[in-house]
Amino acid sequence: MVGTHSGIAMGFYGTSHHCCEDIGALRAIPNLTLMAPCDGNALSSALRTNIKHPAPIYFRAGRGREAVVYDKEFDFRIGGSNTLREGRHATVLAIGNLVKAGLDAHDILKAEGIEITVVDMYSIRPLDLEAVRAAAKRGPIVSAEEANVTGGFGAAIAEVIAEEGLGTRLTKVGMPDAYSVLGPPTHLYRHYGLDGEGVAAAVRKALKA
């Protein structure tokens, strides 16, 4: 299954067309793999790599206007992730559109002397547990998603931190537990802090806590 126009990508079409609850709902379905390609090459990689997987997969895709993160296809593994930037102060674990926002936050914070690791956690269920463990050793974690934070990707990260006693702070970037307002997608991303500046602000907050 490929779900397109996820999150608030439909902008002015409103809450009936915004899909922010799918991650929380689908995480509860047994035997369902949940993955979030962040751009065209990632989606193509996801389909090519997993086309023969014997169980159901839900690919959470955007509207086809996502900024390019990958310049070529790659091995899009179930339970995998890709570290795109490395830094020593904090880690942004991101999915979908927020991967590019995480990369933008990296550049913004680098100019301030703050170094962050940015990981594309494209496999939401199952998660790359080693990536979460490594992030916890590094320092504060910021989860970033274009979805409701209640029961979503950030909640999955929180479960790992709690269950494994990783002892690190988690700050969740995502849609609040409320129906979204209307507007152009780029304006909505800025309004909800789902852009580079928003992710950078969450990192600063996490480091000051």
Residues 6+ apart with CB under 8 A from 37: 43, 45, 46, 59, 60, 61, 76, 96, 122
Using one digit for the tens of pLDDT, what is the confidence trace for 49-90? Answer: 999 999 999 999 988 888 999 999 999 999 999 999 999 999
The per-residue DSSP string of 41-107 comes to HHHHHHHHHHTT-SS-EEEE---S-PPP--SS-----TT--EEEE--SSEEEEE-THHHHHHHHHHH
Statement: residue 200 has pLDDT above 80 = yes
CATH code at position 12: 3.40.50.920
Statement: residue 12 has pLDDT above 80 = no
Statement: residue 13 has pLDDT above 80 = no
pTM above 0.85, yes or no: yes
What's the confidence (pLDDT) of residue 181?
85
∠ CA 153-155-157, rounded to 5°? 75
Where do we find the tokens 């600063």?
204
Using one digit for the tens of pLDDT, what is the confidence trace for 108-145? Answer: 999 999 999 999 999 999 999 999 999 999 999 999 99
Using one digit for the tens of pLDDT, what is the confidence trace for 159-173? Answer: 999 999 999 999 999
How many domains are contained in the chain? 1
Please give the Cα distance from 191 to 53 (Å, whole number).
Answer: 38
What's the confidence (pLDDT) of residue 17?
81
Please give the Cα distance from 43 to 90 (Å, whole number).
Answer: 27
Query: Which domain range does residue 13 map to?
Result: 2-208
Strand partners, 92: 118, 142
What's the confidence (pLDDT) of residue 132?
98
186 vs 84, more confident = 84
- How much of the chain exceeds pLDDT 90, in percent? 83
- C-alpha radius of gyration, the chain, whole number: 16
HSE on the CB side for 111, CA within 13 Å?
6
What's the confidence (pLDDT) of residue 175?
94
